[in-house]
Amino acid sequence: MSNKIHLLDCTLRDGGYINDWEFSRGIYDAVSSELQLANVDFIELGIMGSHDADHFKTKFRSLEEIPIPQKTGSSLFTVMMTGTEYKKMTVPNHSEQTVDALRYAFFKADAKEALEHMRTLKEKGYKVFAQTMATFQYSDDELIELVKEINKIKPYAFYIVDSFGTLYPEDIKRLYHVVDDVMDKDIFFGVHAHNNLQMANANAITFINEAKDRDIIVDGSIYGMGRGAGNAQTEVLMHYLNKDGEIYGEDRVWQLYTDWFADIRRQFDWGYLPEQFLVSKYKTNPAYVWYLSRKGITDFHRIKEVLERIPEEKRYTLFKDEVEKLL
C-alpha cells in the first residue's frame, strides 16, 4: 500500500488562514524537520502572497524568500500559488535553492489561463500540482475535458479539491472514477478535503480505497488546522495508513501538536462550527463568513440570510460588493 499512497502536510499553508500565516521561524523549522523524520512525502512550506510585515511569515513574497529546509530524507517541499500571485512575480528556474514543487490553485473560471501558467512552470523544472478548486463546480463532461487538457501538459499531480467542504464519500467515488478513466496513469492523483460536514477524513479514506493502479496523494494538516472548518488531520491519516505496519511517525506529529500547536489552538478556533456548516450548505467560499465576521455579523440566521441570497455564479470567491448590497 505504501508504494502508491503519498501523504502531503499543508499545515504551514492552509493553517495560515487561521493565524494570518504568523508561524514563527521556530515552528517552521520544527514542522519541516519533524515531518521529514515522520516520513511525510510532501511538506507544504506556505503560500505565495503579498504583505508588509517585517518579520517571518509562511506567506512568501517571492520564491527566493522561502528558507529551504535541510533535507534529511526523501520528503519534497512545495508551496502554493494562484494566478494572481503568478502574474506578480518572476519565477526562477528550479534549483537546489528553490522548492521542489509548485501547487497552482485555480477556480473553474480561470482554468484556461491556469493551464498556460502550469505549462510554463513545468518548463522551468518544477513538479507542478494542478489544484482544481471547488471541483464540484464542474459537470462530469467539463471535468473530463479539463483532464484531457491536463494530459497534454502532464503535470506531476492533479487534484480534486473540496474547497467548501461540500462532498460526501459517494461524491469522492464518482469524481475519482470520472478523472481516473481519462487521466494519464503517470500523473499523480490527489485529494484535498475540508471538514465542514465532518467528512474530511472519511472522504480522504474513501479516495485511498478507490485507488487501485496509480500513485495518489492525500492532504492533511496537524490537528486539521486549516481554512474554515479545517482539513483532514495528518495524524489521523497516518494512523489509518499505519494499520498494516508503521510507515509514518504519528507520534512525532503529536509531539509537534504538544510543543507548538496546542497553544495556537487556545488562541484560535478552527474545525466544525455552525457558520462553516452554512458554507457547505450554500456552497460558498468561506471568505464570505470571514468578511461578515469582520463586519460584526456572527449570528447563524443572519449569516444564513446572506449566504442563501448570493447568486450561484458569485459563490466561488468573495464579492464584497454583493455582500454590501445584500446587507
Read off φ and ψ for residue 109, nearest 5 degrees.
-65, -20
Q: What is the pLDDT of residues 100-152, one digit of tens each?
A: 999 999 999 999 999 999 999 999 999 999 999 999 999 999 999 999 999 99
What is the radius of gyration, based on Cα positions, of the chain? 19
Q: What is the pLDDT of residue 158?
A: 98
Alpha helices per DSSP H over 216-309 = 234-241, 250-256, 262-267, 274-281, 287-294, 300-307
Q: Are residues 228 and 290 in the same domain?
A: no
Rounded to the nearest angstrom, the gap between the alpha carbon of residue 136 and the centroid of all alpha carbons in its chain is: 15
Answer yes or no: is pLDDT of 294 > 50: yes
- Which candidate, 200, 250, 242, 244, places its Cα nearest to that of 220? 200
Confidence (pLDDT) at 244: 86
Are residues 312 and 235 both part of a single domain?
Answer: no
CB 22 within 8 A of CB 57: yes
State residue 240's pLDDT score. 97
Burial 242-274 (b: 16+ CB within 10 A, else e): eeeeebbbbebbeebbeebbeebbeeeebbbbe
pLDDT tens for residues 138-192?
999 999 999 999 999 999 999 999 999 999 999 999 999 999 999 999 999 999 9
Q: What is the pLDDT confidence band of residue 2, given thresholds at 50, 70 and 90?
A: very low
pLDDT of residue 161: 98
Question: Does one domain contain both 252 and 285?
Answer: no
Q: Which of 110, 121, 150 has its CA nearest to residue 317?
A: 110
Domain span including residue 284: 274-326
What is Dmax (Cα atoms) for the chain? 56
Residues 227-252 have a mean pLDDT of 95
In Å, how far are 82, 181, 212 from 110, measured between CA atoms?
Answer: 10, 24, 31
| Same domain membership, residue 204 and residue 317 | no
Task: Give the pLDDT of residue 305.
Answer: 95
* Residues 210, 191: Cα–Cα separation, whole Å: 12
Residues 253 and 180: their CA atoms lie apart, in Å, by 31
The answer, yes or no, to whether residue 271 has pLDDT greater than 50, is yes
Examine the domain organization and report whether 283 and 244 are in the same domain.
no
Number of domains in the chain: 2
Residue 256 in grid coordinates: 509537534
CATH code, domain carrying 179: 3.20.20.70
Spatial contact of 126 and 155, defined as CB atoms under 8 Å apart: no
Q: Indicate whether 316 and 198 sit together in one domain.
A: no
- 93 and 222 housed in the same domain: yes
pLDDT of the residue at 269: 84
Residue 8 CA to residue 161 CA, distance in Å, equals 14
What's the rounded Cα separation, in Å, for the pair 124 and 121? 5
What percent of the chain has pLDDT above 90?
A: 96
Rounded mean pLDDT, 21-46: 98
Query: What's the mean pLDDT in 300-310?
Result: 95
